[in-house]
Amino acid sequence: MPAINDSKAIDSALTRAVAAGDVPHVVALAADANGPIYEGAAGPRAVGSDDPVSADTMFRIASMTKMVATIGALQQVERGNLDLDAPVTDLLPEFADLQVLDGFDGDTPILRPPQSAATVKQLVTHTAGLGYWFFNADLKRWEEVTGNPNVLSGSKDAFKAPMVADPGTRFEYGINTDWLGRVVEMVSGQSLDVYLSDNVLRPLGMHDTVFLMDDEQRARSTPIHIRNDDGQWVPTDVDWSQQPQWWAAGHGLYATPRDYLAFQRMLLNHGTLDGEQVVSADSIRAAFSNQIGDLDFPETIPTAEPQTTAPFHGGPGLKWGFGLLLNTQSKPGMRATGSGAWAGLFNTHFWVDHASGITGAIYTQSLPFVEPRVFAVYNDFEQALYAALN
């Protein structure tokens, strides 16, 4: 099994990144099938404080929530309650109100009916035509001219956002998983927070993974940081709604890195952790298999809101499974072909590499997403980790 020969190079990569100002702080972890093999951290929980960040610090994991919700949906498929090929409107009739945004006539959105009915599978694979405002300029403008809130508001009005492509015609990363969460609620008969707690989080011992933090958890949480005019990191009070009208399957969880590592280990162990089977090995194989056919994950996703995200440069040969970005080419000195990964808006990132038998994750809390200096820290950690394995 994989083992760390010497963690000094990994530790140095983390401390160097904080000292250079590339990140305000950083936590990194890795595990194999048997348990954790590396844990390291550098920097303060909040810049300007003396309290160090750690693997027990609470982070906003944002879109790393998506894979947790996806596992919930796959459980419902296994239990016979959900058909991935079913039209979304069969479960959520209000989905039929969505139209495709085809540009603008002045400040008036041009909307038309979609050419086909989106399926539940297309929600899981981000091919239903739904987007995010920070990656799609038309959606950003639609929000500006209509005043409609986005999903971070916690308002149900966020579900009025139109499609930006016909279902099945392209990969468009967006609020698909938020709709999927509502599907899980419908077929399970439980609210999403209760369903995921009962069926995913508690079985994995993830007691610090929650939609709303209590006072003790918030006291050990880390704020989101941005750079000031001098390029120095400063903490902010940026957060999503603390009184949401719905539970956000696309972004809503807080978690500690140590908690989420248990989830990663379950994925690495084909659906089982410490004797607790959360989902079947067949479902995990499907999650790590190309589910978008001839469509591709874009090599670059441009930014529509630079203060929120830099352009995402994924590179060539990427596909999407169920909730996971899949690389079809190995990265020399890094993850192997067929690995699954995803990230969160505030610069959290994980991957699961079945071929090498390891999973890793790295965390900070900063904006914009994938700022080049921050993204470089991801790569430095991954390279140092694989170099340290025997």
Beta strands at 325-327 and 300-301: parallel, antiparallel or unpaired: unpaired
Return the SS3 of 41: strand
Buried b / exposed e along 140-178 (16+ C-beta atoms within 10 A): bbbeeeeebbbbbebbeebbebbbbbbbbeebbbbbbbb
Listed in sequence order, the residues at least 6 apart from 347 whose beta carbon sits closer than 8 Å to its beta carbon are: 23, 363, 364, 365, 366, 367, 369, 370, 371, 374
- Catalytic residue, chosen from 66, 121, 140, 319, is 66
CB 390 within 8 A of CB 6: no
Decide: residue 349, CB within 10 A, 0-12 exposed, 13-18 middle, 19+ buried. buried
- Catalytic residue, chosen from 38, 63, 366, 378, is 63
Phi/psi for 89 (5° steps) reads -65, -20
Is 173 part of the annotated catalytic residue set?
yes
Amino acid (1-letter code) at residue 289:
S
Is 63 part of the annotated catalytic residue set?
yes
CB 127 within 8 A of CB 292: yes
Instruction: State the DSSP code for 389.
Output: B
Residue with tokens 């989106």: 118
Instruction: State the DSSP code for 344.
Output: E
- Catalytic residue, chosen from 38, 121, 132, 173, is 173
Task: Please tell me the distance from the alpha carbon of residue 298 to that of residue 170, in angstroms, as a whole number.
Answer: 9
Is 188 part of the annotated catalytic residue set?
no
**What's the chain's length in residues?**
390
User: Active-site residues: which are they?
Assistant: 63, 66, 173
